């Protein structure tokens, strides 16, 4: 007669979601099945009637690891608990991976009478693990830098391309947040837009200026996408980027070549003309003053003829530096061509403009080149009249310059 306790134990075994099988202790035949719960029958494809009295050797097959089976037998002979993983085969011949533990059951005299095995089909977990490893290898082989973060923005994966670009080892960034790479070049609005985009479930794409491990900056064309779990909740974020530093440098060099005089570093004539016209439009709209200085190095041809063009180029750079250092931060200094310079003075009436021009002239005259010695400049100044065009303003300043040269050079003439 079964006791309430034995009925409870039997119910627990038969209703467990883990596969449970109980065999006798006859190791000569490998242990015959006495009890197998529905979960075990479902996992193997055998009914209890088909299993009862048979050895579980019927579940072994070509891919079952003999070393695991040998270890199992040793444990059972010695009455020890066994834990292991192996490939078994269902009744229909299909393979599955099982993780199981086998525990000996002893009677009151300590003799092993049965073995209880608790098993779990881990085929899906193994398959998912293999797929994850394959995915990790694929991501690692990608040429573009990739990182994956959890929902708290902690990095859980970084590929080799990311390590190569940033200079950090993969193990150094795991557990860190992408804030590690912040350069300080982006404002709060940039990051607020990023957070708002990801919070809405949308991708965020932008050009990031990031900082490498050695402190150097690089430009990355980067996309960040949220990853959702089966319930639709964001669980991770994946970032794929491309180092575009070379392209950015090239674009910057092209822009610089289009706007900058290569010898002096000042605005070139083409770009300077655009800046002059823009200044003219602003002053006309705002009703402020606009003064224009035209400056020319005196006897520059003599410098080239006597000391050579390298010396002449050096004098041009020195004069350009003095002019740039003499003006206000909002003023524009242009190398107009040859030894001629133009200075655009916004919101600067004639009186202050003349004082600034005199300061320029004096500083150039005070400067001494080690080879050439001193040189001087002549300047022409014109202040824009109401409704005067840019061309007319320039013509008046240019005429004033020639007046300064006719009057003996190294002086300012005001139109």
Confidence of residue 2 (pLDDT cuts 50, 70, 90): low
Q: Please report whether residue 254 resides in a domain.
A: no
* Whether residue 9 has pLDDT greater than 80: no
Same domain, 114 and 132: no
More confident residue, 134 or 189: 189
Question: Which pTM was predicted?
Answer: 0.51
The residue-averaged pLDDT of 20-45 equals: 91
Q: Where are the beta strands (DSSP E) in 64-186?
A: 82-89, 95-106, 112-121, 146-150, 155-158
Phi, psi (degrees; rounded to nearest 5) at 385: -90, 155
- CA 382 and chain centroid, separation: 51
Q: Is residue 366 part of a domain?
A: yes
> What DSSP designation does 114 have?
E
Inside any domain, residue 168: yes
pLDDT surpassing 70 at residue 1: no
Average pLDDT over residues 125-150: 84
Residue 6 has pLDDT above 70, yes or no: no
* Residue 298 within a domain: yes
What's the mean pLDDT in 184-201?
Answer: 91
pLDDT tens digits along 315-348: 999 999 999 999 999 999 999 999 999 999 999 9
* Residue range(s) defining the domain that contains residue 308: 260-414
Give yes or no: residues 230 and 276 share one domain.
Answer: no
pLDDT-derived band at 27, boundaries 50, 70, 90: confident
Average pLDDT over residues 367-396: 94
Residue 142: what pLDDT?
82
Residue written as tokens 């409870």? 8
- Identify any residues that bridge with 38 across adjacent strands, giving them in sequence order: none
CA dihedral 9, 10, 11, 12 (to 10 degrees): 50
> Which CATH number goes with the domain that contains 181?
3.30.450.20
Do 320 and 400 have their domain in common? Answer: yes
How far, rounded to the nearest angstrom, does the alpha carbon of residue 412 sit from its chain's CA centroid?
A: 55
Catalytic residues: 339
Which pLDDT does position 140 carry in this prediction?
A: 79
Instruction: Evaluate if residue 53 carries a pLDDT over 60.
Output: yes
Q: In sequence order, what DSSP letters do the residues of 295-330 get, joined into one string?
A: EEETTHHHHHHHH-HHHHHHHHHHHHHHHHHHS-TT
Residues 294 and 164 in one domain: no
Mean pLDDT value across residues 184-199: 92
Decide if pLDDT at 130 tops 80.
Answer: yes
What percentage of the chain reaches a pLDDT higher than 70? 98
- Dump pLDDT digits (tens) for 344-377: 999 999 999 999 999 999 999 999 999 999 999 9
Indicate whether 294 pLDDT > 60. Answer: yes
Instruction: Tell me the per-residue pLDDT of 250-291, one tens digit each, with 9 for 90 and over.
Output: 888 777 778 899 899 999 999 999 999 999 999 988 999 999
Looking at the fold, whether 209 and 284 belong to one and the same domain comes out as: no
pLDDT for 78-117, tens place per residue? 989 999 999 999 999 999 999 999 999 999 888 999 999 9
Sequence length of the chain is: 415
**What CA–CA distance (Å, rounded) separates 241 from 102?**
50
pLDDT of 185 over the 70 cut:
yes
Number of structural domains in the chain: 3
Other residues' Cβ atoms within 10 Å of the Cβ of residue 63: 11
Kindly state whether residues 161 and 270 are assigned to the same domain: no
Indicate if the pLDDT at residue 13 is higher than 80: no
pLDDT value of position 232? 86
At residue 245, the pLDDT reads 87
Asked if 307 and 194 sit in the same domain, the reply is no
pLDDT tier for residue 210 given thresholds of 50, 70 and 90: very high
Average pLDDT over residues 34-43: 93
Average pLDDT of the segment spanning 210-239: 92
Q: Is 153 found in the same domain as 114?
A: no
For residue 208, the surrounding DSSP H or E stretch is strand 204-211
Same domain, 112 and 157: no
Please report, for the domain that includes residue 320, its CATH number: 3.30.70.270
Which of the pair, 209 or 141, is modelled with greater confidence?
209
Tell whether 255 is covered by a domain: no
Question: For position 132, what pLDDT does the model report?
Answer: 78
Query: Which tokens in the block code for residue 46?
Result: 């055998």
Residues 273, 188 share a domain? no
**How confident is residue 306, by pLDDT bands cut at 50, 70 and 90?**
very high
pLDDT band at 3 (very low <50, low <70, confident <90, very high): low
pLDDT above 90: percentage of residues in the chain: 77
């Amino acid at each position: 007669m079964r006791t309430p306790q034995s009925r409870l134990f039997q119910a627990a075994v038969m209703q467990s979601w883990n596969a449970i099988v109980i065999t006798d202790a006859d190791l000569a035949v490998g242990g015959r099945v006495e009890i197998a719960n529905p979960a075990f029958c479902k996992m193997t494809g055998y009914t209890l009637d088909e299993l009862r009295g048979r050895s579980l050797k019927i579940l072994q097959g070509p891919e079952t690891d003999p070393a695991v089976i040998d270890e199992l037998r040793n444990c059972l002979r010695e009455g020890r608990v066994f834990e292991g993983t192996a490939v078994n085969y269902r009744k229909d011949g299909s393979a599955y991976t099982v993780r199981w533990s086998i525990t000996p059951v002893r009677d009151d005299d300590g003799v092993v009478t049965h073995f209880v095995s608790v098993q779990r089909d881990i085929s899906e977990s193994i398959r998912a693990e293999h797929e994850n490893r394959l995915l990790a290898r694929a991501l690692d082989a990608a040429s573009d830098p990739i990182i994956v973060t959890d929902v708290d923005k902690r990095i859980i994966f970084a590929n080799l391309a990311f390590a190569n670009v940033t200079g950090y080892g993969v193990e150094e960034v795991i557990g860190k947040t992408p804030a590690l790479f912040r350069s300080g070049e982006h404002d709060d609005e940039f990051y607020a837009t990023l957070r708002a985009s990801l919070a809405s479930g949308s991708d965020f794409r932008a050009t990031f200026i990031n900082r490498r491990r050695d402190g150097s900056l690089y430009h990355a064309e980067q996309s960040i996408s949220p990853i959702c779990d089966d319930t639709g909740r964001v669980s991770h974020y994946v970032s794929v980027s491309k180092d575009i530093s070379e392209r950015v440098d090239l674009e910057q060099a092209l822009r610089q070549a289009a706007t900058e005089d290569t010898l002096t570093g000042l605005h070139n004539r083409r770009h300077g003309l655009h800046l002059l016209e823009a200044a003219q439009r602003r002053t006309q709209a705002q009703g402020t003053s606009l003064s224009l200085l035209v400056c020319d190095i005196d006897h520059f041809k003599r410098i080239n003829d006597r000391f050579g063009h390298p010396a002449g180029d050096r004098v041009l750079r020195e004069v350009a530096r003095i002019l740039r250092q003499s003006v206000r931060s909002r003023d524009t200094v242009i190398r107009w061509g040859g030894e001629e310079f133009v200075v655009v003075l916004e919101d600067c009436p004639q009186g202050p403009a003349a004082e600034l021009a005199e300061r320029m002239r004096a500083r150039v005259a005070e400067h001494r080149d080690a080879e050439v010695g001193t040189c001087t400049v002549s300047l022409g100044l014109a202040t824009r009249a109401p409704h005067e065009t840019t061309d007319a303003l320039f013509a008046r300043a240019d005429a004033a310059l020639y007046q300064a040269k006719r009057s003996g050079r190294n002086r300012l003439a005001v139109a």
